[in-house]
Copies of this chain bind each other. A is one copy, B any other.
C-alpha cells in the first residue's frame, strides 16, 4: 500500500467578482445587519461565453495545480471532475477537461455528490493510488453555484462560482500526506433539498432540522475519521470546511467542538462555491503561509443528497508560487 500525497494545489475565480454593491438589486433590500449576518461580501459570476465554462475553469485550476506539482498533464492516470451545478445528459464535462489539459493518458469522469464532490473525489483517487493501480491523479471541483439560486433572492448574495484542484501522487517524497477520509451517505434524506424545474434551489426541511443535519454530517464522519487515524480533535491544527452558510459554519464550530479561530474559511470573499470551497480555501491559506508544514488539517463537508464526508491530511512542502505574469 502506497502513501498518497497532495503535491499541488490550484484554484480559479471568475474575472467578474461581484461586491454586494455591484450585484443586481434584490427583491427586497437588505435590512441593517443582514449583510453581516449572511457573511458574504464578494462572490464570482462565471461567464461561459468568455471562457469560464465548468471544464475551462477546471482546466485553469488544474493547470496551476499541475505546474506547482511539477507533473506533466500527459503523465496523469486519472482525472476526476466534481460538479453538480451544470448538468447535461452527455457528453460529461471531464472528457473536455482531459482534452484541455492534454491529459491524454488519463481516465476522466464526472462526479456529483453535490457540495461533497471534492472530498468524494479525493477518496476515489486515493483508492486507485493507494493500491498502486494508478500513480498520479488530478481531482478538480468546478461549480457555477450562482446559477442555482433565484435571481433577486438572498441566495444570490451567497452563491458564487469557481474551481479548485489538487494533484495526488502515490509514494511522493513531499506534499500533504493524506491521513484518511470518510465518505457517508444518508439516502433517506434525499428529498431534503432539490433543484426545482427552473433550476433553483429549494429546501424541503425546516432550517432547524437542516442545521441539526449539518451538525451531524460534520461531527460523525470527523469523529470516525480521527478514530481511524488514531488522532483526536486536539491534534487538528486547522479545520478547512465546506460550510455553505454563515449559520452552518457556526453550527460546525459547535458540532466539532473546535475553537472558532481554528476554522479557516474564505466564505466572506468567495461565497458558497459548493464542492470547490475546500480546494479554493486550501490554496488561499497554504499560499498565504497560514497553513504550514506539519500542520494537521481536517476538511469536513456535507452535501445535499444527503452526503457527509471528511478528509484528514498533514501538510508538507508545497510549491505555491503564483501564476507567472
- Cβ 8 A contact of A87, one of B87, B104, B106, B187: B87
What 1/0 mask marks residues of chain A from 192 to 212 whose CB sits below 8 Å from any chain B CB? Answer: 111100010000000000000
- Which of A73-105 touch B at CB < 8 Å? 79, 84-85, 87-92, 94-100, 103-104
Would you call B148 and A99 a contact (CB within 8 A)?
Answer: no
A89-B148, A95-B186 given; A113·B124 CB < 8 A:
no
Closest to A80 in B: B124
Expressed in whole angstroms, the Cα–Cα distance for A108 and B189 within the complex equals 13
What 1/0 mask marks residues of chain A from 274 to 315 whose CB sits below 8 Å from any chain B CB? Answer: 000000000000000000000000000000111101000000
- Cβ 8 A contact of A89, one of B110, B111, B131, B199: B199
Chain B residues positioned under 8 Å from A307 (CB to CB): 95
Copies of this chain held together in the complex: 2
Chain B residues positioned under 8 Å from A306 (CB to CB): 91, 95
Flag whether A109 is at the interface (Cβ < 8 A).
yes
Flag whether A190 is at the interface (Cβ < 8 A).
yes
Would you call A185 and B84 a contact (CB within 8 A)?
Answer: no
Flag whether A174 is at the interface (Cβ < 8 A).
no
Flag whether A219 is at the interface (Cβ < 8 A).
no
Flag whether A130 is at the interface (Cβ < 8 A).
yes
Number of chain A residues close to chain B: CB under 8 A:
57
What 1/0 mask marks residues of chain A from 108 to 141 whose CB sits below 8 Å from any chain B CB? Answer: 1111111000001001100110111100000000
Expressed in whole angstroms, the Cα–Cα distance for A307 and B85 within the complex equals 23
Flag whether A191 is at the interface (Cβ < 8 A).
yes
Would you call A91 and B305 a contact (CB within 8 A)?
Answer: yes
- Cβ 8 A contact of A111, one of B85, B99, B111, B188: B111
Chain B residues positioned under 8 Å from A263 (CB to CB): none
Would you call B89 and A84 a contact (CB within 8 A)?
Answer: yes
Would you call A305 and B195 a contact (CB within 8 A)?
Answer: no
- Cβ 8 A contact of A187, one of B97, B113, B189: B97
Closest to A108 in B: B185
Expressed in whole angstroms, the Cα–Cα distance for A85 and B109 within the complex equals 16
Flag whether A30 is at the interface (Cβ < 8 A).
no
A127-B127, A131-B1 given; A91·B191 CB < 8 A:
yes
Flag whether A16 is at the interface (Cβ < 8 A).
no
Flag whether A236 is at the interface (Cβ < 8 A).
no
Flag whether A264 is at the interface (Cβ < 8 A).
no
13 contacts between A and B (CB under 8 A): A1-B132, A79-B185, A84-B90, A84-B92, A89-B195, A90-B112, A92-B114, A96-B187, A107-B120, A107-B309, A109-B120, A127-B131, A131-B131
Query: What are the 9 A-B residue pairs with the smallest beta carbon separation, nearest first?
Result: A98-B187, A99-B187, A131-B131, A107-B183, A95-B187, A89-B195, A127-B127, A108-B185, A95-B190
